Amino acid sequence: MYTIREEINKHCVGEGREGSKTKPTTLLAMYHCGEGCLLEMEEKGSSEESRKLLDEISKLQNEILELKNKDSDKDKEVTELQTKIKEFNMQDIDSLTLQKRVQSLEEENLDLSTKVQDLQRLLHESRNSHDQENNDLIKLQNKMGSKVTELYELHEQIISTIKKESNS
């Protein structure tokens, strides 16, 4: 495949095809890769070849425009995909943050559950100890009550004996 400049050079004065029966054509071309192309032409020969070149240039310009449009569309698509990637990355970061928070809460929950179990065990032991102390106190009260009763009965016997002896 050849470039436009090569084609132009083939048809310029003094650089035409050897043995060609057509008159050489001088072309002055100015172009840039911006919004459009500017072509200046000075005829010194066959207008048919000039027309062919202009048609070819027009086709190439159309192809360039199509490629630029496709390139622009692809750039937009790339930008959209980059935006989506950033969004996914942010979601991943948010998800990781939430996962860490959940893990932290689960660890805290486990720690608190262990503490609750320990406190429940201590409460149960304390209740058992309290119940045992109450039972011991009740037993002591019963013993004291029976001792007081025995002392009372003994006291009654002593008084009764003293009264009998004093009467005799």
In a domain, 28, yes or no: yes
Q: Rounded mean pLDDT of 35-39?
A: 46
Question: What pLDDT was estimated at residue 75?
Answer: 96
Question: What pLDDT was estimated at residue 105?
Answer: 97
In a domain, 136, yes or no: no
Question: What pLDDT was estimated at residue 168?
Answer: 74
Residue environment code for 44-77, b if the CB has 16+ CB neighbours within 10 A, otherwise e: ebbeebbeebeeebeeeeeeeeeeeeeeeeeeee
Residue 99's domain comprises: 4-117
Rounded distance between C-alpha atoms, residue 103 and residue 160, angstroms: 84
In a domain, 157, yes or no: no
Q: Identify which has the larger pLDDT, 112 or 37.
A: 112
Number of domains present in the structure of the chain? 1
In a domain, 134, yes or no: no
In a domain, 51, yes or no: yes
pLDDT tens per residue across span 99-158: 999 999 999 999 999 999 999 999 999 999 999 999 999 999 999 999 999 999 999 999
In a domain, 137, yes or no: no
**Is 27 buried (19+), middle (13-18) or exposed (0-12) by CB count in 10 A?**
buried
Question: What pLDDT was estimated at residue 45?
Answer: 52
Q: To the nearest whole number, what is the mean pLDDT of the chain?
A: 81
pLDDT tens per residue across span 52-63: 888 899 999 999
Question: What percent of the chain stands above pLDDT 70?
Answer: 73
Q: Phi and psi (nearest 5°) for 46?
A: -70, 125
Residue 87 pLDDT exceeds 50: yes
What pTM value is reported for the model? 0.42
Q: What is the 3-state secondary structure (H, E, C) of 8-62?
A: HHHHCCCCCCCCCCCCCCEEEECCCCCCCCCEEEECCCCHHHHHHHHHHHHHHHH
